[in-house]
Structure 1
């Protein structure tokens, strides 16, 4: 179904890679409750500024590459970003504490120009399809290892660190639910709603399987 949706825009959908690294908050203190973020200016990418607003802060849309200077100069008080970005931009040099979340960015689709795909010989297409079946579990395992290694590293760099419990992560997620999918459904109607319902069904099934130990957790 996704393949046909992408094809309408001239895109060949090949498959999925792993989720982006989990989000975190860096700032002058640990963020345990909404009171901790209330009134603060927080760097956030694009529409994620709406998430910050739902928590009581003020989202400031700033590119990740400018986070260091923004924190150093006091343009923002904190930053909402990923552990990978924190590592590459060395944000521990300009802020004090890191709060690790338990939510990833988003699944990463692997795509190709449809006309280019159609121009490939059958044997090359088969090679792509084979690799695309093998890639998700490979990327999953490597991403899990990366998350653990990176979080351990960052704990040694920040003066304070804290990781939300599953219950805390659920509490922080609640205010911002729907800020992406609701506008999409309003714009595209029933096809978007049907797709979203399927995503929720799979998510519910996976969550139940994880509770029973039948499916691994991406972020521990």
Structure 2
């Protein structure tokens, strides 16, 4: 090929332009992580708390890495169906997700520990998990399966009911109810409930059509999915609950391993720093839900320590026993979890 003076000058000018424009270089070299979740979208300051966690993570990651790593958030299962996300994380087909970990129980039985009835009953207890042995071992199990926990996000559960209030296991007898996880369903079934399985994003249509009469989910979900429009009685999750769920922000191990050391450090640091926000947001929603539902005319009920103990008595011979019997690892994890007071 003959290199003309004009071509030489043009090439040099283009190169000089790139050198003079570091923003262009960063944009060309930036790695974009796709983050999918099932919850309604919003902004950094408004909307579902879990969506805000994802957006705050993305904004801070971009800042910390000087734009070399960015995050694209896809809310409302707009990128991928809800129940496909965990498997996609494991395979490296999805970079990140914030998802109820119990949804992964079919693939990884140990994940059902994340929604074990009456095991975690308040936020102080939940906050201890990350640094306790149960948290370390659960994180190791997930990492071995190809998924890394970035932020430990815990949510207290409330019960929205179109019928009578649900305060005790006996109250679910004959009620069509959604529990959100296999272990919760075992308790409901043993108590005479008619269990319906569906992701939280489908609760509204279930209640609307009569397929559901009651639904248990995080306070945040019961606000975001507008079940206040259909509810007569709300059992609030403020202070304590028999239903606590781990909904972590997670990253595919394949994606994480492909990052630079500096990017991996930023992911770890930002993820851990977001835990304070996640706890504060969850507690705020536990209070907000009582206002939202009361404004719609629902009667508000709070659980007592005696109520929680009845749920624990119902869970031990059913959900806890079934989980521990799965394999040696599930038995070990349950034992470690019981040690967290």
Establish whether TM, by shorter chain, passes 0.5.
yes
Q: Where does 1:97-136 land on structure 2 (aligned, <5 Å)?
A: 97-101=233-237, 102-136=241-275
Asked if 2 retains the 8 angstrom alpha-carbon contact of 1:29 and 1:160, the reply is: no
Secondary structure of 1:187's match?
A: coil
Larger radius of gyration: 2
How much has 1:24 moved relative to structure 2? 1.5
Asked if 2 retains the 8 angstrom alpha-carbon contact of 1:54 and 1:176, the reply is: no
Mark the CA change 1:64 to 1:131 in structure 2 (over 3 Å): closer, same or farther.
closer
Q: Once the two structures are superposed, what CA deviation does each residue of 1:42-77 show, in whole Å capped at 9, x if it has no partner? A: 233352332222332221224434433433443333
Asked if 2 retains the 8 angstrom alpha-carbon contact of 1:29 and 1:97, the reply is: yes
What is residue 221 of structure 2 aligned with on the other side?
85
1:27 aligns with 2:166: no
1:18 aligns with 2:157: no
What is residue 302 of structure 2 aligned with on the other side?
163
What is residue 109 of structure 2 aligned with on the other side?
none
Looking at both structures, which has the greater relative contact order when contacts are Cα pairs under 8 Å and sequence separation is at least 6? 1
1:145 aligns with 2:281: no
Q: Work out which of the residue numbers 314, 334, 341 in structure 2 matches 1:175.
A: 314
The alignment yields a C-alpha RMSD, in angstroms, of 2.7
Q: Aligned equivalents of 1:170 and 1:123: distance in 2?
A: 47
Q: Work out which of the residue numbers 174, 180, 184 in structure 2 matches 1:39.
A: 174
How much has 1:136 moved relative to structure 2? 1.8
Q: TM-score, normalised by structure 2?
A: 0.51
What is residue 95 of structure 1 aligned with on the other side?
231
- Which of 147-156 and 121-130 deviates more? 147-156
Secondary structure of 2:145's match?
A: coil
Q: Work out which of the residue numbers 127, 144, 155 in structure 2 matches 1:8.
A: 144
State the aligned residue count.
201
How much has 1:120 moved relative to structure 2? 1.4
> Structure 2: 5+ residue runs without aligned partners?
1-135
Q: TM-score, normalised by structure 1?
A: 0.75
> Structure 1: 5+ residue runs without aligned partners?
205-220
What is residue 337 of structure 2 aligned with on the other side?
199
Q: Aligned equivalents of 2:204 and 2:249: distance in 1?
A: 30
Secondary structure of 1:167's match?
A: helix
